[in-house]
Amino acid sequence: MSRVVVDVMLKPEILDPQGDAVRAALGRLGFDSVAAVRQGKRFELALTGEVTPEAIAEVERAAGMLLANPVIEDFTVRLEDAPAAGDPASEG
């Protein structure tokens, strides 16, 4: 089982009120060194079989179709470097 990560963030030119609210809340908590926050989504996909270039291209197609809204969002697809704590192999 291979793990692929899709990061989805609002395009830089799109306002992010949610991120702004987080930054304001951090300021109220005393975290003054945070100048700006952008909030996005992260998807961890477990693929059956090997991660071939074709499999990555398929995930990119899926991301552009379902995981992200390409009008207002950018996404990146990458292999997860190390097995995460939540690796299915370690469950149960």
Q: Catalog residues that contact its own copies under the rule CB under 8 A.
A: 1, 7-9, 11-13, 19, 22, 25-26, 29, 31, 33-49, 55, 58-59, 61-62, 65-67, 74, 84-88, 90-91
Largest CA distance in the chain: 47
Q: Report the residue number, 13 or 17, with the smaller CB distance to its own copies.
A: 13
Q: Report the residue number, 35 or 71, with the smaller CB distance to its own copies.
A: 35
Q: Which residue has the tokens 């930054």?
A: 23
One-letter identity of residue 22? V
Q: Report the residue number, 41 or 70, with the smaller CB distance to its own copies.
A: 41
Q: How far is the CB of 16 from its own copies (least distance, A)?
A: 10
Q: Which residues pair with 75 in a beta bridge?
A: 8
Query: Which tokens belong to 43?
Result: 């998807």
Residues 6/79, Cβ–Cβ less than 8 Å: no
